[in-house]
Structure formats: C-alpha cells, structure tokens
Structure 1
C-alpha cells in the first residue's frame, strides 16, 4: 500500500463531511472549496484521497456530473451511466492522441517507430 499523507486524509474527511451534509444534492468545485476552506489544489488532493478511501472502505463513490457537481452516488444505474460516460471520454482522448499527434508524427518521420 502506498504511503498516505495525513494532510490529504484530513482534506478528504472535510470533503466527505461537506458532501454528506448536502446528500442527495452535490456541490460545485468552487462551493466545495469554500465550504471546506481549501484551495483548488487541496480540494483536488482531498477528492483523490476520498476516492481511494471510498473504494477501500466500501463507501458510496464520489462522482461528478455537470448538473450536480461532486456528490456521493448510491444509485447503481447512475453509477453505471457515469462509468460509461467516463470510459467514452477516455476513448475519445486516446483517439485524438493517436489521430492528432501520433499519426502526423509517423507521417513526418516514418522511421522513428
């Protein structure tokens, strides 16, 4: 197991508490930062740690949606929809990397591979 930062765990605890107070609604990043009194970097670090803790401890996962912002998801159907959207986004990023960067590089320097 990777070494954990006590500071990141404290940020995660602040975020988890804030999200529990507004369940089932969510919070935008700016509102979450304000409620927890954390910077953008601290909030990002806390969210990453909270995701790890949720997976490890069997808690409902933290997800993000355009409508609600960050929230704790307890619905299996909603979680599956989010997973599909996340995978679709990553596949689009890979496709763009291949067609927009690697493809032109190969066309310019075919012997570089």
Structure 2
C-alpha cells in the first residue's frame, strides 16, 4: 500500500498540486454554489489541460489532506458536497457509468480475445477479474433493497 502511495506521489507533479489547491480555493470562495468548467478555468486562470490535471490531483489529495469531496453536476458544475445522500447518489451514478464502460470492454475486447485464444491464461485471468469488477460496480450502482 505504501509503495502504491509513493508511486502515485511521484506521478503527481508539484504543478498539479498547485492547480488542485487553486481549484480548492476558488470553489471555497463560491461554496456552497459551484462553478462550471469555463468559469472555473477563468477564475483560476488555468487552461483546459491544467484544469483536468488539477482535478485529478484534487481527487488524490482530498483524502490525504481532509479536503471536502468534489463532485460535478450539470446544474451546478464542480462543487463541494457535504450531503451524505447527494454523495451516495453521485457515487451510484459514477458506478453505473463505470459498469457500462467495463461491460463494453468485456463484450467488445475481452470476449473476442477469449474466442481467439481460448487457452490463454492471461485472457482467462483478465476476464475473471473484469467480471468481478463489473459485478461489484453493479452492486454499488443498483443495491438490493431489503
């Protein structure tokens, strides 16, 4: 676990961390409202690519530094969310999107690969792992009510 954390820290540049902090400060000023991407770029004076790297760095740093969760919605743009129900709904939607993406990889890439090379240990392993991920995402996105 620590080696993964060190590797992630090496990949994240100090510049990306500065961009993340700029985003945090800009959003703190307008909280609880949010900012759409173009307005956030204007306020922070970041380019589109800098914004993308800053958002990725923010998500990595949020847990480490105790920053509030950052989510995006069509209505509010990027904003901090401290409502448990709203966060759960966002997480379910995120899991549903990833479920769809994983499903498409399985059916469009892995299944044809498995048909071409049915004895490949690699493809058997990756199909099993991706099916497990797909199942977990499905359970997150669509929990069974009791």
1:102 match: secondary structure: helix
Match of 1:63 in 2: 71
**Superposition RMSD in Å:** 1.7
Q: Does 1:30 align with 2:38?
A: yes
Q: Does 1:94 align with 2:94?
A: no
Match of 2:129 in 1: none
Match of 2:93 in 1: 85
Extract structure 1 runs of 4+ deviating beyond 4 A: none
1:7 match: secondary structure: helix
Number of matched pairs: 112
Question: What is the TM-score of this pair, normalised by structure 1?
Answer: 0.86
Between the aligned partners of 2:18 and 2:118, the Cα distance in structure 1 is 51
Question: What is the TM-score of this pair, normalised by structure 2?
Answer: 0.69
In the TM superposition, what is the alpha-carbon distance from 1:112 to its structure 2 partner? 6.7
Between the aligned partners of 1:59 and 1:16, the Cα distance in structure 2 is 8
Larger relative contact order, structure 1 or 2 (CA cutoff 8 Å, min sep 6)? 1
Deviations 1:25-78 (A, max 9, x none): 111111111111111111111111212221112221111112211111111111
2:88 match: secondary structure: helix
Q: Does 1:15 align with 2:23?
A: yes
